[in-house]
Structure 1
Amino acid sequence: MLSVLQLLMASFGVASLWICRAAPVAQNRVGFPRAAAQSDDFNLNPYPGKPRLTFNEDGTFKITVFSDLHYGENPWDVWGPQQDVNSTTLMNTVLTSEKPDYVVLNGDLITGENTFRENSTKLIDEIVAPLNKLKLPFSSTHGNHDNEPNITHAEEIKRELQVAPLSYTRFAPSWANGQGYGPGTYWVPVYTKATDHSPSLVLWFFDSRGGFSEGVNSTRVPDWVDENVATWINLTVATMDAAWGPAEKVNRGSLAFVHIPPHVVQDLQPNLNSTQDPGLNADELGSGSTQATTLPQDADKDDPFWNALNAQVKNLHGVISGHDHGNEWCKREITKNVIFCFDKHSGYGGYSSTGWGHGVRNIVFRSPDPNVGPETWIRMEDGETHARIIMDSSYN
């Protein structure tokens, strides 16, 4: 059944929604929240004051992903701040060597339970300093350690937008504000040329929440992408298709980032093939390692999000997650026919083990055409590379 907002789109045209506020939307059959939907929730020009992201003249677009940086551990002793120095050194080394077109910070930027409340957001300044110095555009997702009594996702986003001119992170739609749905859900367009009418690639970022709420009366935060995000995906894709054309017809590709991996990833690990699915596999997935698995009664709570993402977002090259520091493999999830990849643990903070090392995941789009899958691999701090695959229909 079409929602009120979809009917308005069909009747008055998408463009009118950019300048008019829709009427409040009551709860409907697909679970859209009662909070009023606003036109800017579906604005197809979300960055009017920033440069358009574009592919290079040779048709490539390179993304470097830093995951689980974990700044702010043990600020009361020498060891903790030294880990932040080490992480910053790694960022500087990788960025100057790899020269990415775009950077993703894929969650757990800060270890919120360790850092001091009074200066916790200042850690964002340290994290984005290498990006600011090189004038690199970037986006962030946020993880379970970014929600703790001393820090929240919203506080990190607010600080990042204050100190990083080329941050493309933004707050989730208006209906999510203050509702517990997670403030870090949004999308970023990438164009073949800056003058193009519509993007050839959309980067999707989802807030998997987790951790604990701020303050002395801290409570556990659900560790999955809220089910209401599914309806936002449906409506956002409908708006894109109405304005730009369906993704399959206009060759618009997509790539998704979320810190905590979807729960279906647990079923992939027992069937890994080290040749076909290369990369470190040292973290056994179990309780708390994927979305909606911290408590047994919450199992499969990320199904609405996962189903909507794979049903609505066409030409989806893959889903990229961090969270599990000992894993860096990719595998095709056959029920949705989508490739899933772990990041590489980048930061010196957070748990680790002998031989795991630190590095990043690189993703290189070789063409704006979504039929040409991107190439991805792990790059270690010392420059060694491994676990290289092509994310296309031939993989797995």
Structure 2
Amino acid sequence: MPLLLRSVFVALSLLCPPAFAAPAAETRVLAVPSALNPYPRLPRLTFNSDGTFKITVFSDLHYGENAWDAWGPQQDVNSTRLMNTVLSTEKPDFVFLNGDLITGENTFRENSTVYINEIIAPLNQMKIPFCSTQGNHDNEPNITHLEEIQRELKYAPLSYTRIAPASISGGSGGKYGPGTYWVPVYTNKNDFAPALIIWAFDSRGGFSEGSNSTALPDWVDSSVATWIEQETKLMDSVWGPADQTRGALAFVHIPPHAVQAVWETLNNTINPGLNADALGQGSTQATGEASSSGKDQPFWDSLNTNVKNLHAVISGHDHGDEWCAREPTKDVIFCFDKHSGYGGYSSTGWGHGVRNIVFSSPNPAVGPETWIRMEDGETHARITLDQSYP
């Protein structure tokens, strides 16, 4: 090509560059509606290159206990030591804080949410993504669920916690039950649809703020049932049916009422792990005065009807329990966390630790393995959350 013509060609190319089609994956990702892209400013959570994804659950940390004497702050020091020990050795991909972060009735109004900074400090330092839901002790005259979430979002750059929409009772229009949301986990960062959905549900409980404090409902509100149905329908319409493509895990602080009947039939071999809390009044979501079906029944029905490939429902609240069991009415596995914090009630021999949940594959047909990991590194109650259990 003559030099002059070549120069003209280059100039025209710069002015009118050829239109290259964007990669299909990226184009599809950009087309996802904002309702299904809740974290546009945060890194996408993904499985590792070997197909694994590890979640470590800290439950019932109970910071702020006996804030007026030397004993209480020392328990917070102990809990922070446990968090640092576990995080540095387990190296989870994601952390879930499953309620009762703070013993709110022991705190003072002027410093209640400062404890959130203590709790998230190890996660911030190690740059570990996480999310939280709150428990009954996080709603008290001097503190609310909403205030804790707002503090967390202000000071934790890798928090995936969200505030529930106003359509959910106690959501963004209220203070006491806003911690209901979901977090997507993808196989690869440019994938159109996630391989795993982590669901968080706010079971409320505790007491309202102020001098005229009143007891709050201690179950997942019935409005959440409609929200679950709406969210899963939207996911299916955009991402495709979940049956063969997406797995799920659900977290809630107070265990669902149906677990009370399961507790009465436990077997130490099939259901390994500490079983030291007798379930009864206050141990599960409210059963109501005239019905044994439970005030959380709409939530329980909707969760198990609409969320496909639900590997397990995981709760805290009862410090003396670690076991898993299959709940027969919904054919779903339920697990207790491990009491992690040094605050809150305990007993000799219970110890402190976490529940680990490890996926070996993003394939929803492959259930994750789970076990209890104690502070000293000892592990027990290891099972696989799949159709073969128990």
Give the match for residue 61 of structure 2.
Answer: 69
- Correspondence list, 1:252-291, <5 A: 252-291=246-285
Going from structure 1 to structure 2, the CA distance change for 1:17 and 1:49 (only over 3 Å counts) comes to: closer
Decide whether the 8 Å contact of 1:186 with 1:205 is kept in 2: yes
Q: 1:190 aligns with which of 166, 185, 191?
A: 185
Distance in 1, Cα, partners of 2:31 & 2:83? 43
Q: Indicate the SS of the match to 1:268.
A: helix
Q: Select the residue among 275, 279, 296 that pairs with 2:289.
A: 296
Contact 2:338/2:353, CA 8 A, preserved across alignment: yes
Partner of 1:247: 242
Matched residues in 2 for 1:84 and 1:17: separation?
A: 42
Report the TM-score, using the length of structure 2 for normalisation.
0.90
Partner SS state of residue 247, structure 1 = coil
Paired residue for 1:6?
none
Contact 2:256-2:300 at 8 Å conserved across structures: yes
Q: For the structure 1 residues 16 and 304, does the alpha-carbon distance in structure 2 shift closer, same or farther, using more than 3 Å as the test? A: farther
Structure 2 residue 194 is the aligned partner of structure 1 residue 202: no
Give the equivalent residue in structure 1 for 2:96: 104
2:161 pairs with 1:166? no
Structure 1 segment 204-353 matched on structure 2, within 5 A: 204-249=199-244, 251-293=245-287, 296=289, 300-353=294-347
The answer for the alignment partner of 1:152 in structure 2 is 144
Distance 1:17 1:161 in 2: 24
Deviation string, structure 1 residues 11-30 (Cα, Å, up to 9, x no partner): xxxx9994xxxxxxxxxxxx
Aligned to 1:376: 370
CA distance in 1, matches of 2:155, 2:161: 12
Residues 298 and 160 (structure 1 numbering): CA distance in 2 closer, same or farther, change over 3 Å?
farther
Using the TM superposition, give the Cα deviation of residue 178 of structure 1 relative to its aligned residue in structure 2, in angstroms: 2.4
What is the deviation of 1:173? 1.2
1:93 pairs with 2:88: no
Secondary structure of the corresponding residue to residue 174 of structure 1: coil
* Percentage of identical aligned residues: 73
CA distance in 1, matches of 2:254, 2:236: 28
The aligned amino acid for 2:130 is F
SS in 2 for 1:53: coil
User: Would the aligned equivalents of 2:340 and 2:354 in 1 still touch at CA under 8 Å?
Assistant: yes
Deviation at 1:177, TM superposition (A): 2.4
Which shifted more, 200-209 or 268-277? Answer: 268-277
Query: 1:208 touches 1:260 (CA, 8 Å); kept in 2?
Result: yes
Deviations 1:188-242 (A, max 9, x none): 0000000100100000000000000011111111000000000000000000000
Structure 1 partner of 2:22: none
8 A contact 2:325–2:335 mirrored in 1: yes
Letter of the 1:112 counterpart: G
CA contact (8 A) 1:292 1:298 kept: no
3-state DSSP class of the match of 1:275?
coil
Distance verdict in 2 for CA 1:49–1:69, change over 3 Å: same
In the alignment, is the contact (CA less than 8 A) between 1:181 and 1:226 conserved in 2? no
1:131 aligns with 2:88: no
The aligned length equals 357
Partner secondary structure for residue 137 of structure 2: helix
Match of 1:31 in 2: none
- Do 2:136 and 2:218's aligned partners in 1 also have CA atoms closer than 8 Å? yes
Identify the residue that residue 113 of structure 2 maps to in structure 1. Answer: 121
**Counterpart residue identity of residue 132, structure 1:** N
Structure 2 unmatched runs, 5+: 1-29
Contact 2:100 2:138 in 1 (8 A): yes
